[in-house]
Amino acid sequence: MNIQSILSDKIKQAMIAAGADKSCDALVRQSGKPQFGDYQANGIMAAAKKMNLPPREFAQNVLANAHLSDIAEKLEIAGPGFINIFLNPDWIAKQISHTLSQPNLGVQTADTQTVVIDYSSPNVAKEMHVGHLRSTIIGDAVARTLEFLGHKVIRANHVGDWGTQFGMLIAYLEKMQNEHASEMELQDLEAFYREAKKHYDEDEKFAEKARNYVVKLQSGDEYCRSMWKRLVDITMQQNQHNYDRLNVTLTEKDVMGESLYNPMLPSIVEDLKKQGLAVEDDGAIVVYLDEFKNKEGEAMGVIVQKKDGGFLYTTTDIAAAKYRYETLKADRALVFSDTRQSQHMQQAWLITRKAGYVPDNFSLEHKNFGMMLGKDGKPFKTRTGGTVKLADLLDEAIERATVLINEKSNNLSDTEKAAVAEAVGIGSVKYADLSKNRTTDYVFDWDNMLSFEGNTAPYMQYAYTRIRSIFNKTQVDLTALYTAPLMLVDEKERLLAIKLLQFEEAVQTVGREGSPHILCSYLYELAGTFSSFYEHCPILNSEDETIKLSRLKLALLTEKTLKQGLDLLGIKTVEKM
Ligand code: ARG
């Protein structure tokens, strides 16, 4: 249940009944301060201005037309014309019971959409590095969230598995096979790529063979195809290992590499020419976009086919958008990639729209993110300045968490400790990324992410175990809590109950905006609200059995909400820490 949208709708109706335009917006938001109520309608002033009415007078009319008696116990006009809304405890109690009894914590599935989520998208014959980490982690949390909201999610791992570099890679794979290279040698993809490039640059015979293989691969030559396939497989096996360690839901089935769109490219370029969108310019095929200006202030040219006949990253993304709409029958397509690719995505999609490959209501959204920086504020690198391999980063995370858990958790067995270290180590890396607004650059800092204080994985995981331990200490039959009456007497109880009901607002925002940090902030606030409730309102020591059950009920819903929320983020919880 989404309190914000219920209130928004009801107040909007009252505004319309009081004479406002149908397009008015009540702008209901959670209040920042308790004296302003639980929610606040901020849209009154703007509507009143349009109607030439004094805002407070219009606010009066709105209140006279509002049907909120069950939800709100008090409505108050404040300042120049805000409406403060104080929720009714009986209504809150009813909603809490309902939420607890529903699967999915009562979260409503609105109109179900098919959403394609393009994320992770590493490149073949290259080791996944930290640059792909953000896309993988954030994209996966959004995929889980949209699925939870009832949408049909199609995961599209847009792997870079095509391009002229494959000639050189195939030639080098052949060379290594002829020299009976071990599996081990093939596994080191960075070295493999480096060596292939070196041969290509330094050995003219090798380079010629490589060029020949590109042509053969593109024309479907069986030998080149199978060598190419082998490179893809080796890469994706390694990536799969990273995904599994990261608790990311991607599988081999989700691979939709660039090569998939290859057969579409010639006809797209033909069609763009036919439509007059693309023109020949010095042998290349170019689309000039007025919406983008080059340095000289002229319409920017986007090449869709090179002079040598090769297609480009942009051409593939035009095809991918078309495919998502036409073949996958999607309503919405998201791409999680670096902000530096924003212009590229916007151009590809503008061409897609101009060519009429997708209708206006088909939503194409670039969910861009900033860079991952080291503590020195520069792009995150190894000490020697190289790119950090993802696998090494995860090893280090677990090592560091192991040290931490060995210090902190004395009452765990060795196997328990190992499981906790894994959950905390991996969880920390993920949560540190998820909890930041994705569009800004973020500083990767081990000490911060592994801290038990603040908005971190260990803090959240620990908060969860603390609630678990309450239930481990009580004999109360949990099923009784579902029907137990909820008593919201103390202000801390009321605040916790409202916070619990705001889960859906957070989840829906994540689904809409592709911004998991909203859910992290929510869960962090929920844990904090629970903590202050727990300090002020004794649960197990409570004298009164009804109060004890009521408080346990709040604790149970908090536990479930934290668990569900962390699960949507792909963060594992443990029973004890
Ligand atoms: N493979 C690309 C990279 O490593 C990311 C692909 C993002 N998705 C897309 N449809 N362009 O930068």
Confidence of residue 337 (pLDDT cuts 50, 70, 90): very high
What is the enclosing helix (H) or strand (E) of 48? Answer: helix 44-51
- Is 316 a pocket residue for ligand 1 (Cβ < 6 Å)? no
Task: Specify the residue with its C-alpha closest to ligand 1, atom 11.
Answer: 317
Token duo for residue 102: 């529903």
What distance lies between CA 321 and its chain's CA centroid? 20
Confidence of residue 505 (pLDDT cuts 50, 70, 90): very high
Q: How far apart are CA 334 and CA 328, in angstroms?
A: 13
HEC per residue, 283-320: CEEEEEEEEEECCCCCEEEEEEECCCCCECHHHHHHHH
- DSSP annotation of 436: S
pLDDT at position 401: 97
Please provide the average confidence, as pLDDT, over all residues in the chain.
95
Confidence of residue 182 (pLDDT cuts 50, 70, 90): confident
pLDDT tens-digit profile of 2-38? 999 999 999 999 999 999 999 999 999 999 888 899 9
Q: How far apart are CA 233 and CA 449, in angstroms?
A: 34
pLDDT beyond 90 at 186: no
pLDDT at position 277: 98
Confidence of residue 353 (pLDDT cuts 50, 70, 90): very high
pLDDT at position 189: 86
Confidence of residue 126 (pLDDT cuts 50, 70, 90): confident
Give residue 502's identity as a one-letter amino acid code: Q
The answer to whether the CB of 303 falls within 8 A of the CB of 286 is yes
Q: How far apart are CA 194 and CA 35, in angstroms?
A: 63
The answer to whether the CB of 117 falls within 8 A of the CB of 73 is no
pLDDT at position 381: 87
- Token pair 């990261």: residue: 246
pLDDT at position 428: 97
Strand partners of residue 280: 285
Q: Return the best residue to mutate from 119, 159, 328, 341 for the ligand 1 pocket (most ligand atoms within 8 A of CB).
A: 341
pLDDT at position 120: 97
Task: Specify the residue with its C-alpha closest to ligand 1, atom 4.
Answer: 122
Identify which of 233, 205, 229, 201 has the alpha carbon closest to the alpha carbon of residue 217: 229
Three-state DSSP class for residue 95: helix
pLDDT at position 406: 92
Measured in Å, residue 241 CA sits from the centre of ligand 1 at: 20
Measured in Å, residue 126 CA sits from the centre of ligand 1 at: 13
Measured in Å, residue 258 CA sits from the centre of ligand 1 at: 9
pLDDT at position 192: 92
Task: Specify the residue with its C-alpha closest to ligand 1, atom 6.
Answer: 121
pLDDT at position 258: 97
Average pLDDT over residues 398-404: 96
pLDDT at position 424: 97
Measured in Å, residue 98 CA sits from the centre of ligand 1 at: 43
Q: How far apart are CA 528 and CA 455, in angstroms?
A: 10
Measured in Å, residue 337 CA sits from the centre of ligand 1 at: 6
Q: Return the best residue to mutate from 256, 337, 344 for the ligand 1 pocket (most ligand atoms within 8 A of CB).
A: 337
Residues sharing a CB contact under 8 Å with residue 36, sequence separation 6 or more, in sequence order: 78, 82, 84
- Is 568 a pocket residue for ligand 1 (Cβ < 6 Å)? no
Q: How far apart are CA 459 and CA 286, in angstroms?
A: 53
HEC per residue, 369-409: ECCEECCCCCECCCCCCCCCEHHHHHHHHHHHHHHHHHHHC
The angle subtended at Cα 330 by Cα 329 and Cα 331, nearest 5°, is 125
Strand partners of residue 338: 369
Backbone angles phi, psi at 374, to 5 degrees: -80, 175
Q: How many helices (H) and strands (E) does the chain have?
A: 22, 13
pLDDT beyond 90 at 360: yes
Q: Looking at per-residue confidence, does 100 or 186 come out higher? A: 100
Confidence of residue 117 (pLDDT cuts 50, 70, 90): very high
pLDDT beyond 90 at 211: yes
Q: How far apart are CA 171 and CA 202, in angstroms?
A: 14
Share of the chain above pLDDT 90, in %: 87
Residues sharing a CB contact under 8 Å with residue 292, sequence separation 6 or more, in sequence order: 299, 300, 302, 343, 346, 347
pLDDT tens-digit profile of 547-573? 999 999 999 999 999 999 999 999 999
Measured in Å, residue 176 CA sits from the centre of ligand 1 at: 29
Three-state DSSP class for residue 40: strand
Atom of ligand 1 nearest to the CA of 348: 11
Strand partners of residue 97: none
Average pLDDT over residues 250-258: 97
Three-state DSSP class for residue 28: strand
The dihedral of CA 117, 120, 121, 124: what is its sign?
negative
Q: Return the best residue to mutate from 128, 154, 158, 365 for the ligand 1 pocket (most ligand atoms within 8 A of CB).
A: 158
pLDDT at position 457: 97
What distance lies between CA 249 and its chain's CA centroid? 12
pLDDT at position 34: 85
Residues sharing a CB contact under 8 Å with residue 450, sequence separation 6 or more, in sequence order: 400, 401, 404, 424, 428, 456, 458
What is each CA distance from 180 to 139, 175, 183, 223, 316, in whole angstroms? 39, 9, 9, 18, 36
Atom of ligand 1 nearest to the CA of 313: 11
Measured in Å, residue 132 CA sits from the centre of ligand 1 at: 9
Q: pTM of whole model > 0.85? A: yes
pLDDT beyond 80 at 463: yes
Give residue 88's identity as a one-letter amino acid code: N
Which of 323-337, 377-391, 468-482 ranks highest by mean pLDDT?
A: 323-337
Count CB atoms within 10 A of the CB of residue 503. Answer: 25
Q: How far apart are CA 495 and CA 435, in angstroms?
A: 23
pLDDT at position 12: 97
- Is 160 a pocket residue for ligand 1 (Cβ < 6 Å)? yes
Q: How far apart are CA 518 and CA 525, in angstroms?
A: 11
- Beta strand 363-369 pairing with 332-338: parallel
- Is 158 a pocket residue for ligand 1 (Cβ < 6 Å)? yes
Average pLDDT over residues 521-546: 95
Q: How far apart are CA 2 and CA 503, in angstroms?
A: 8
Identify which of 336, 314, 166, 376 has the alpha carbon closest to the alpha carbon of residue 250: 336
pLDDT at position 127: 80
- Token pair 């042998």: residue: 283
pLDDT at position 534: 96
- Token pair 């998502």: residue: 324
Token duo for residue 516: 């998991």
Count CB atoms within 10 A of the CB of residue 44. Answer: 28
Burial profile 244-276: b = 16 or more Cβ within 10 angstroms, e = fewer: ebbbbbbeeebbbbbbbbbebbeebbeebbeee
- Is 317 a pocket residue for ligand 1 (Cβ < 6 Å)? yes
pLDDT tens-digit profile of 79-98? 999 999 999 999 999 999 99
The angle subtended at Cα 147 by Cα 441 and Cα 568, nearest 5°, is 50
pLDDT tens-digit profile of 35-53? 899 999 999 999 999 999 9
pLDDT at position 261: 97
